[in-house]
Structure 1
Amino acid sequence: MTRYTALIVDDEPDIRDLLEITLGRMGITTHTAADVTSAKALLGAETVHLCLTDMNLPDGNGIELVQWIQQHCPNTPAAVITAYGSMDTAIEALKAGAFDFVSKPVELPRLRELVNSALKLSEPIGNNISEPDEPGLLLGTSAEIQWLRKQTRKLARSQAPVFISGESGSGKELVARMIHLQGPRHEGSFIAVNCGAIPSELMESEFFGHKKGSFTGAIDNKDGLFRSANGGTLFLDEVADLPLAMQVKLLRAIQEKAVRPVGESKEFPVDIRVLSATHKNLYELVKSGHFRQDLFYRINVIELTVPPLRARAGDIPLLASHILQRIAQDYECEPARLTDSAIARLQTYDFPGNVRELENILERAFTLCDSDDIDATELQLGSAPVAPEEQTLSASDTGSQPIALPEGELDLENYLETIERQAIEKALEATRWNKTAAAKRLGISFRALRYKLKKLGME
């Protein structure tokens, strides 16, 4: 079993003794220092897996020591001990590179959680993301994506809230997931929630949970997103869409590290890391009063910007190849290839929808092309073609007979899906279940037929 060593820096002997006893009972060897100078000397002479430092020291402060550790011992996580209620000081320490913070008077359960999380940084996380140049979920070789991967590795070693900005479809959730996977919480849950997709009247219950019988429809107890992410990471996507009333409750839950389910009289502690993102300009929303400034500063301790796809066009061939391989696996077909002209066309396209748009373009081209090579014309860029999942059968597909609409309200999507299903069944029956012949009869490619069979659950 690995024997860990911690450095405790505090000029108060009683605090040093308390921390030494607590860490000693956890099986951790401790060294102590009463000032910044002594701490630097010990860090230079000993292997230290964790540093706990007070903010106010006789010859400096904890933030200065954190910055020094970042430069000289970057693999040693440092946590600061702050005065009660000094949230501004704690945020300043996190921005300086502190792993986390704990407030005085020190709550021992909270201290143990912090220590255990910090020491996990000394353990290997897994072969799939342990190599320093492994792209993991962020594919590409451009300077922009390499910088982004470097930043995610650095931020993974902290518990600071990170705000991920970037255009829609640029991969903000992938960045959040990489931060989670490379950090000490990688064994915990990664819970992603789109804040704009939750009805405002259900938000409190979704985030904090509810007690059985607390309102109509509450037939069981519910943990909520915060408690489901306990020990892991909660990713708040499109956080700008939260109504102001919910922003107040979210801020309190983040600051207090506790939630009160709807209908409960007590709070439940939660140990989570909060990551957030939006494609909107939060600075402008704060100025206009649509987003609370105090919440903004709490979630935006560190900002990370994801570059748009057009800024790293050199990554497109690798991304496209990866996407086409994945699509082929989904359809159980041989993978298609992009011709040189198709790659050149993609690299000059603006991609307002970023990587998500690239996926849609390639999926459409894959399902509709008749060969294994996708040419530039089959990408259908520059027009507004209908996505494969939105296509419906033409008159020729249905035998040119007029379609009678049913009486009353119409669920158009389900209605068209029913017609499509019937047409495919008839084509398959007419060709004795020969999919190649059925696709020809329907006037679509074999891949398009495979796509529709999978989508409609007809395989």
Structure 2
Amino acid sequence: MSEMRALVVDDEPDLRELLDMTLTRMGLDVETAEDLSTARRLLANGTDYAFCLTDMRLPDGNGLSLIKEISRDYPHMPVAMITAYGKVDDAVTALKYGAFDFVSKPVDLEVLRNMVRTAIKLRQDDAEMAPPKPEASKDKSKAKAQAEAETEISAGTPGGESLLRQRLVGRSQAMDRVRQTITKLARSQAPVLISGESGTGKELAAQLIHDLGPRAEQPFVAVNCGAIPSELMESEFFGHMKGSFTGADADKEGLFQAANGGTLFLDEVADLPLNMQVKLLRVIQEKTVRPIGGREEIKIDVRILSATHKALKPLVESGEFRNDLYYRLNVIDLPMPSLRDRRGDIRLLAEHFLGVIGEQWGETPRKLSTAAMDALQNHRFSGNVRELVNILQRAVTMCEGDEISVEDLNIDQGMLDEDNVDVSPPEDRSLDDYMEDIERRILEKALVEAKYNKTEAARQLGISFRSLRYKLKKYDID
């Protein structure tokens, strides 16, 4: 770190001196500023700072404005916020404005060191990916243009865009947006809530955020919150000490300790019981855990990524999910598109997975007949990409030749309209029942697309809110 410089912005002389000493001992060349105007002047000098740490409240303004300016003009410079103790809202706001991470007062020096090491690792990775830099320019527009060019170049390296395209298959605009968002999220330490239907690849997205970030060499620990019995949940998350309860025959490390230094992925986070939500919120805020039966808090350095196929906002409104935890986890939202929303990718996905299946099974990859491909492109795919993989695995098993037929797919061949509503003629049911079934599906689809905002769903459907409410009650749609 000997050639790297850090910028510290704080109006308290004692804290400024403490931060200066701590970062200097880590090998950084530190420059300090007591207010926004000084910080802006130092930045305008063209110094290539590897890291910036700024206080929230400064004599001539708010540190958030500095975070926004750095994120805009110096996108390769990680910037962290110093917040007052317990001011979680300030920390969340800073992260949304582009802060890399935050540290609370009184500053825990070990937490600070861990944060700085992660930021420096990110900056070093950027430097390795970028071409040699020309002489530093004081022109902000030139600095910004150069940073953007470096971002584009780094995205084309094996650790960037090519990795994303290898693992997130698809050429649709929806997947391009997902890849662009993941690239940005990998540079941050902000908590991310990955939303989307089952089978859309939420865990894969979380793994990519980890693999493309500065924690890539540290553990990635994934846990399905809905798969852990409630009575074992605290032990699984935080660990326990030998003898702390019946059956505790040895010390056990919890998931947070196992993920220390890396990333903890909480899948199906909506399934956490309320008592566990309280404990999880405390761990996220304090960055410490206490094992069951333990006497001391253990410091942890973990990035939290979470996912759910349920809409959390209605659960917050009904009291089933804590409002404060929701806003702490949902600093940045990453929606994963359904396969129905990117039908143009089905052919590419099918060919890709047939190749993977052939390689895994030691067989020559099968081909899809024209009719079979058409059938896949017209299928509803309520299970999304996961369902596509299952269909192809079954088809390869059933196929007797080199080409997969429609019969090998074994899927419902009812015709679909452009909105994926099954309009096959009814057979064993009345026309009224059939039409009600279609209307119910249209209502459910509109609610999902509007993220369960009923006013927006009514607008999309072109009906009044009162009419929508009546129909939801009629079909018992919650």
Mark yes or no: TM-score above 0.5. yes
SS in 1 for 2:251: coil
1:293 aligns with 2:327: no
One of 148, 165, 168 as aligned partner of 1:138: 168
The 1-side partners of 2:403 and 2:5 are apart by 58
One-letter amino acid of the structure 1 residue matched with residue 330 of structure 2: N
One-letter amino acid of the structure 1 residue matched with residue 81 of structure 2: V
Tell me by how many angstroms 1:131 deviates. 4.3
One-letter amino acid of the structure 1 residue matched with residue 34 of structure 2: A
One of 263, 278, 282 as aligned partner of 2:308: 278
Query: For residue 124 of structure 1, what is the aligned residue in structure 2?
Result: 125
SS in 2 for 1:94: helix
Query: For residue 194 of structure 1, what is the aligned residue in structure 2?
Result: 224
Please give the root-mean-square deviation of Cα atoms over the aligned residues, in Å.
Answer: 1.8
Query: For residue 353 of structure 1, what is the aligned residue in structure 2?
Result: 383
Tell me by how many angstroms 1:134 deviates. 4.5
SS in 1 for 2:165: coil
Query: For residue 94 of structure 1, what is the aligned residue in structure 2?
Result: 95
Q: Any residues of structure 2 matched to 1:58-69 within 5 Å, and which?
A: 58-69=59-70
Tell me by how many angstroms 1:137 deviates. 2.0
The 2-side partners of 1:197 and 1:370 are apart by 38
1:224 aligns with 2:240: no
Q: % of aligned pairs identical?
A: 57
For the structure 1 residues 131 and 171, does the alpha-carbon distance in structure 2 shift closer, same or farther, using more than 3 Å as the test? Answer: closer
Judge conservation of contact 2:101–2:189 (CA < 8 Å) in 1.
Answer: yes
Judge conservation of contact 1:129–1:136 (CA < 8 Å) in 2.
Answer: no
1:344 aligns with 2:374: yes
1:209 aligns with 2:239: yes
One-letter amino acid of the structure 1 residue matched with residue 300 of structure 2: V
One-letter amino acid of the structure 2 residue matched with residue 255 of structure 1: Q
Tell me by how many angstroms 1:2 deviates. 6.6
Query: For residue 114 of structure 2, what is the aligned residue in structure 1?
Result: 113
One-letter amino acid of the structure 2 residue matched with residue 9 of structure 1: V
Tell me by how many angstroms 1:67 deviates. 0.6
Task: Please identify the structure whose Cα radius of gyration is greater.
Answer: 1
State the TM-score, normalized to the length of structure 2.
0.77
Judge conservation of contact 1:124–1:130 (CA < 8 Å) in 2.
Answer: no
One-letter amino acid of the structure 2 residue matched with residue 292 of structure 1: R
One-letter amino acid of the structure 2 residue matched with residue 89 of structure 1: D
The 1-side partners of 2:376 and 2:269 are apart by 31
SS in 1 for 2:167: coil
SS in 2 for 1:85: coil
One-letter amino acid of the structure 2 residue matched with residue 31 of structure 1: E
Tell me by how many angstroms 1:59 deviates. 2.1
State the TM-score, normalized to the length of structure 1.
0.80
Cα deviation code 1:239-285 (max 9, x no counterpart): 11111111111111111111111121222111101111110111111
Cα deviation code 1:183-213 (max 9, x no counterpart): 1111111111001111111111111111112
Judge conservation of contact 1:128–1:136 (CA < 8 Å) in 2.
Answer: no
Tell me by how many angstroms 1:182 deviates. 1.0
The 1-side partners of 2:164 and 2:307 are apart by 24
Query: Structure 1, unaligned stretches of length 5 or more?
Result: 385-459
SS in 2 for 1:236: strand
Judge conservation of contact 2:164–2:208 (CA < 8 Å) in 1.
Answer: no
SS in 2 for 1:157: coil
The 2-side partners of 1:310 and 1:2 are apart by 52
1:375 aligns with 2:376: no
Query: For residue 157 of structure 1, what is the aligned residue in structure 2?
Result: 187
Query: For residue 82 of structure 1, what is the aligned residue in structure 2?
Result: 83
One-letter amino acid of the structure 2 residue matched with residue 53 of structure 1: T
Segment of structure 1 superposing worse, 134-143 or 284-293: 134-143
The 1-side partners of 2:241 and 2:400 are apart by 56
Query: Structure 2, unaligned stretches of length 5 or more?
Result: 130-156, 415-478
SS in 2 for 1:30: strand
Judge conservation of contact 1:82–1:102 (CA < 8 Å) in 2.
Answer: yes
